[in-house]
Amino acid sequence: MTEQNSQTPAAAADPNAPVVNPQAIYIKDCSFEAPNGPFVGNAQATPTVNLNLTTRATALAQDLHEVVLQVNLEAKAGDKVVWLLELQQAGAFVIRNLTANDLAQVVSIMAPNYLLSFARSAVADLVTRGGFPPFLLPLVTFEGLHARAQQQAQQAAAGQVPGSGAVN
């Protein structure tokens, strides 16, 4: 019989060592719609897929954070909607002994990267079950999204309209 230990060896040796451990990965909300089923006008036309990704993090308890990766997809053939998909792929993470800056990076970069593969699998499965060829979410650079969000927050704090700053 094996003994389960949720602490990493480093954390067990040093109680002040940084800890980031996923505790649960789950679909928080999900919706798939195919208004006309798989039979949309020109079956040969490859639909155009619009993708919108957002993330959010919530402290559930001390050292326990929920991170949600929101995926919105709309596939259109011409002006007809082929399918719509909304997914909230979530995870609960034990995170402790990090600076505020490191915590921000974990919940906006590392955790969404971890959740992306689960979301990719769910999206491909849902689209296929809807009668369409699987759609694979592309690789995403959450570092870039985090940097842009920080820049917008700094501009808002300085009273600037995001995107109105000087271009370098």
| In the predicted structure, residue 114 carries a pLDDT above the cut 70 | yes
Higher pLDDT, 57 or 151: 57
Burial readout 56-68 (b: 16 or more C-beta within 10 A, e: otherwise): ebeeeeeeebbbb
- Quick one: what percent of the chain has pLDDT higher than 70? 85
Query: Cβ-count burial of 105 within 10 angstroms (0-12 exposed, 13-18 middle, 19+ buried)?
Result: middle
Q: Which of 34-43, 44-53, 97-106 has the lowest mean pLDDT?
A: 34-43
- How far is Cα 77 from Cα 39, in angstroms, rounded to an integer? 11
Q: For 92-106, what is the mean pLDDT?
A: 96
* Residue 5 CB neighbour total at 10 angstroms: 9
Whole-angstrom distance, CA of residue 82 vs CA of residue 147: 34
Residues 6+ apart with CB under 8 A from 7: 19
The model's pTM is: 0.81
CATH hierarchy code of domain 17-157: 3.10.420.10
Dihedral angle of Cα 33, 36, 40, 46, to the nearest 10 degrees: 0
Segment 26-51 shows an average pLDDT of 86
Average per-residue pLDDT in the chain? 88
**Which has the closest alpha carbon to 18: 105, 78, 141?**
105
pLDDT at 90: 99
- The pLDDT of residue 6 is 58
List the chain domain ranges. Answer: 17-157
